[in-house]
Structure formats: C-alpha cells, structure tokens
Amino acid sequence: PAFGLFLFTIARDPLRIIILIAGAFFWLVSLLLSSLIWFIAVKASDPRDERLQKGLLIFGVMFSVLLQEAFRFLYYKLLRKAIEGLVALSEDGCSPISIQQMAYVAGVGFGLMSGAFSMINLLADALGPGTVGIHGDSQLYFLTSAFMTMVLIFLHTFWGILFFHGCEHRRWWEIAAVVVMHLTVSGLSFCNPLYVGSLVPSYMLMAAAAAWAYLLSGGSAQNLRRFLLCKS
C-alpha cells in the first residue's frame, strides 16, 4: 500500500520525488546516529549480561525514536528554507508545492525508508527455503511483521503531517503528541510476540492519527461523505 501511495501521489511530480528521497536520507542518518550510540553502549558493556543487553536495546530504541523526531524537525527547518527559496524564484509568487504536501511527502519518505529497513531482509529471507517459527517462535512472524511495517509506514506519514502542522502553527502540544505516539508505538512493539498487545493498539493509534491529520488538512466529515458517495 505504501508503494501504491508513492506511485499515485508522488511519482508524478519530480520535486516531490526529491523531497521523498531527502526524507529517506534524513531518516537514514538518524538511524545511523542512533545505531552508533547503541553500538558504543554495547561495546562498552558486558556482552554476557542478558538483562543489561535487553535494557540497552530498549534504551537504543527509545533514543532512536527521539533522534528520528529530532531529524524530522531538522528536515522541517530545511524544507521551510527551501520553500522560501522556491517562492522567491517562482514566476507567480507562490510556491509550486505547499508545506502540507511537503509534510505528506516527507512523512512518506520517512515511512518508506523505515519500512524498507525493517522489511527487506525479511523479504529476502522469505524468498528462500525454510519454515517459519521452527524454534518455537510464532508462526505468524512474517505476517505480523508485514502488518506492523505497514502500520508504521502509515504512521510516519501521518506523523509527518501532524508534526509539520504543529511546527507551522507553533502548537507544541501537537509535536509532543507525535513524539509520545511514536514512543508508544515503539514501546508497544516490545510486547511482541504477544501480537495482540502491539498490533491492535498500533492500528487504533494509526486510525486516530489518520483522522487527526485528515482534519488538519482541511477535510471534514462532510467531505468524506461526499467523496464516498461519489457526489459531485
């Protein structure tokens, strides 16, 4: 689905593709830094202590989430500057792409990159021979991973919109809400393999974020009804 989003909404406009790739790049850099921190922490600690390792992992995840949001903020700043440049240089005085579109594309960029990194090795292994969950792990590993990845990609997209909107209108609580949501979702994934604990709340959060982003982007219940009923 995320790829479909990409095809239908982004692939037309070259500027959006650039913003997408740049968003993916920013996510990648944040991942790099967070894994650097984790790596240092692991190397500096005792490799045999299981609980410590688990704790370090949790710490790494949280830190990574915070870094991701920080990079989203940096990306927002960069896009602000870029939009000013575009406005100044465009012929009719208004930018070819609005900040909301940029927010959407940036969110998709983040999401796609994080999804790709989460899934692609899995997919590659899935092509090869093997049995899922042979060592007593859950047999639904691939399915749940796929769903989790999808929900994460969508969430990133919505968070992008919410985040940028919060930055635009200086509503700090929106930004804080995004960060908290992200932390929550990551934290929920700790419940794996108890999938009920992680997938269901994640989807609910996604629905909430979707509705919120939709309202922020100017939609309303009436619009939705009109669209669904194909009225003119």
Partner 1 sequence: MITFMNNSDSEEEPCNERTSLMSAESPPVPSYQDGLQALEAGEVQAHRKRRAGSSRGPNNIAGGEMSGSSVPVRESALENEEEELTLKYGAKHVIMLFVPVTLCMIVVVATIKSVRFYTEKNGQLIYTPFSEDTPSVGQRLLNSVLNTIIMISVIIVMTVFLVLLYKYRCYKFIHGWLILSSLMLLFLFTYIYLGEVLKTYNVAMDYPTLFLVIWNFGAVGMICIHWKGPLQLQQAYLIMISALMALVFIKYLPEWSAWVILGAISIYDLMAVLCPKGPLRMLVETAQERNEPIFPALIYSSAMMWTVGMAKPDTAARGPSQQTWDAAEDGREHHRSPSHADSQMSETRSPVPTRPVTSLEELEEEERGVKLGLGDFIFYSVLVGKAAATASGDWNTTLACFVAILIGLCLTLLLLAVFKKALPALPISITFGLIFYFSTDNLVRPFMDTLASHQLYI
Residues lying near partner 1 in the complex (CB under 8 A): 13-15, 17-18, 21-22, 24-25, 28, 31-32, 34-36, 38-39, 42, 57, 60-61, 64-65, 68, 85-86, 89-91, 96, 113-114, 116-118, 120-122, 124, 141, 144-145, 148-149, 152, 185-186, 189-190, 192-193
Could you tell me the two tokens for 176? 């804080």
Residue 58 CB, nearest distance to partner 1 (Å)?
8
Which residue from 194, 174, 181 is spatially nearest to 151, judged by alpha carbons?
A: 181
Nearest approach in angstroms of CB 225 to partner 1 is: 34
How many C-beta atoms lie closer than 10 Å to residue 7's C-beta? 10
Which of residues 41 and 217 has its CB atom nearest to partner 1 in the complex? 41
Nearest approach, Cβ of residue 108 and partner 1 (Å): 14
Q: Which is nearer to partner 1, 188 or 216 (CB)?
A: 188
- At position 87, the amino acid (one-letter code) is V
Considering beta carbons, is residue 52 or 61 the nearer one to partner 1? 61
- 3-state secondary structure (DSSP) of residue 137: coil
Nearer Cβ to partner 1 (23/166): 23
What are 12's two structure tokens? 């037309």
- Smallest distance, partner 1 to C-beta of residue 217, A: 23
Sequence-separated (6 or more) residues with CB below 8 Å from residue 17: 10, 11
Q: Is-contact 64 39, C-beta < 8 A?
A: no
Write out the DSSP string of 80-128.
HHHHHHHHHHSTTSS-SS-HHHHHHHHHHHHHHHHHHHHHHHHHHHHHS
Smallest gap from Cβ 220 to partner 1, in A, equals 32
* Residue 101 or 186 having the CB closest to partner 1: 186
Specify the DSSP element, H or E, that contains 9.
none
174: Cα separation from own chain's centroid: 16
Angle between helices 195-216 and 172-188 (to 10 degrees): 160
- Which residue, 145 or 217, is less far from partner 1 as judged by CB? 145
